Amino acid sequence: MGSYKDKVVVVTGAGGGLGKAHAIEFAKRGAKVVVNDLGGAGDGTGKSNMADVVVEEIRAMGGEAIANKASVSDKEGARSIIDDAVNAYGTIDVLVNNAGILRDKSFKNMDMSDWDVVQNVHLNGTAYVTKAAWKLMWEKSYGRILFTSSSSGIFGNFGQANYGAAKMGMLGFMNVLAIEGLSKNIRVNTLAPAAETRLIGTIPGVEVNPDNPDPMRHPRLVSPAVLLLCDDDAPTNKTIHAGNGQFYTSATFINQALQFGADVTYEELLQKKEALLDMSNIEEMNGLIRLKIREQQANDNN
């Protein structure tokens, strides 16, 4: 059963697609799962009993699960997800922030109400649920938190300014919480998945069959990365891309800094433009690396 036996795992947006696949894989390994899903359509409208269906499926295979049908974008609803976990199972060990919607349109044609609702579900919703779980994890000195990003944010994708901005925000959120949770054994990572889901079907011109996805685009092919990023020996401050049978890591890199004096001018910088933009000599940089550099500098000065 590995490290998930009797772990309490919350998966948001687990009524179908990726979230359902994640929830089932945790349950197979003995975890007690809170299946959250409002049950709305891919654009966030409506509601249904999708979460109940997944719970029934988990119980039928001998697993343990309960349903929560609150919206992550509502602060009280987000709190209820974690409250239900604690009331049913006494704690929370793992939080997988997966809930999301799509409202695609080029930025020129996008109504800003579609910007707001996507930010509220993805970025604010992730923050609300994470905030509700954070204190509990802090007090018990254990927690595994996963954010769900996307290549649309990390690399960019036409027609997804709202979605891409929210998804890139996950990396900034991760970078900070990985530092803040370090001393309390709270590890925070990010997933960038690729799969055939009903959300993809909301993109104009894209046809999918979420009930019978292409075997190589099935959501379950993403779940191994989720379990890796949430287990006892999980890393922290990492972004893993998963889907189509492939897994890889992306990171932020910087080149060698150009050194100028206090009177640097635009003209001087312009003369060094090629060197400034040259990425042939780079190194990885993230919050934890910066923290180690500062600690080393402090030790060197003592």
What pLDDT is stored for residue 199 in this prediction? Answer: 64
Question: What number is the average pLDDT over the span 284-301?
Answer: 79
Domain map (residue ranges) of the chain: 2-250, 256-301
Report CA dihedral (169, 173, 178, 180) to the nearest 10 degrees: 160
What pLDDT is stored for residue 150 in this prediction? Answer: 94
Cβ neighbours for 10, distance < 8 A, ≥ 6 positions apart: 33, 34, 36, 81, 82, 85, 92, 94, 95, 96, 129, 133
Question: What number is the average pLDDT over the span 241-268?
Answer: 96
| Percent of the chain clearing pLDDT 70 (strictly above) | 94
What pLDDT is stored for residue 286 in this prediction? Answer: 85
Mean pLDDT over the full length of the chain: 92
For 248, the 3-state DSSP assignment is strand
Q: How does pLDDT run across 65-120, given as a tens digit for each residue?
A: 999 999 999 999 999 999 999 999 999 999 999 999 889 899 999 999 999 999 99
Question: How far apart are the C-alpha atoms of 297 and 241, rounded to whole Å?
Answer: 33
Quickly state the pLDDT bin for 233 (edges 50, 70, 90).
Answer: very high
Q: How does pLDDT run across 177-232, given as a tens digit for each residue?
A: 999 999 999 999 999 999 877 666 566 666 666 677 777 778 999 999 999 999 99
Which among 116, 9, 129 is positioned nearest to 77, based on CA atoms? 129
What pLDDT is stored for residue 43 in this prediction? Answer: 64
Which among 86, 44, 85 is positioned nearest to 65, based on CA atoms? 85
Distances (CA, A) of 166 to 2, 18, 35, 173: 33, 18, 23, 10
User: Catalytic residue at 163?
Assistant: yes
Does domain 2-250 match CATH 3.40.50.720? yes
- State the DSSP H helix or E strand holding residue 204, giving kind and residue range, or none if neither: none
What pLDDT is stored for residue 204 in this prediction? Answer: 64
What are phi and psi for residue 189, nearest 5 degrees?
-135, 175
Which among 6, 10, 1 is positioned nearest to 226, based on CA atoms? 10
Catalytic residue among 4, 89, 142, 163: 163
| pLDDT(141) > 80 | yes
| Residue carrying structure tokens 């889901």 | 197
Report CA dihedral (173, 287, 132, 167) to the nearest 10 degrees: 20
| pLDDT(1) > 50 | no
Q: How does pLDDT run across 14-52, given as a tens digit for each residue?
A: 999 999 999 999 999 999 999 999 887 766 777 788 999
Query: How distant is the alpha carbon of residue 123 from its chain centre?
Result: 9
> In a 10 Å sphere around its CB, with 0-12 CB exposed, 13-18 middle and 19+ buried, how is residue 297 labelled?
exposed
| Percent of the chain clearing pLDDT 90 (strictly above) | 79
Distances (CA, A) of 225 to 82, 153, 244, 266: 23, 19, 12, 45
The radius of gyration of the chain's CA atoms, rounded to the nearest angstrom, is 21
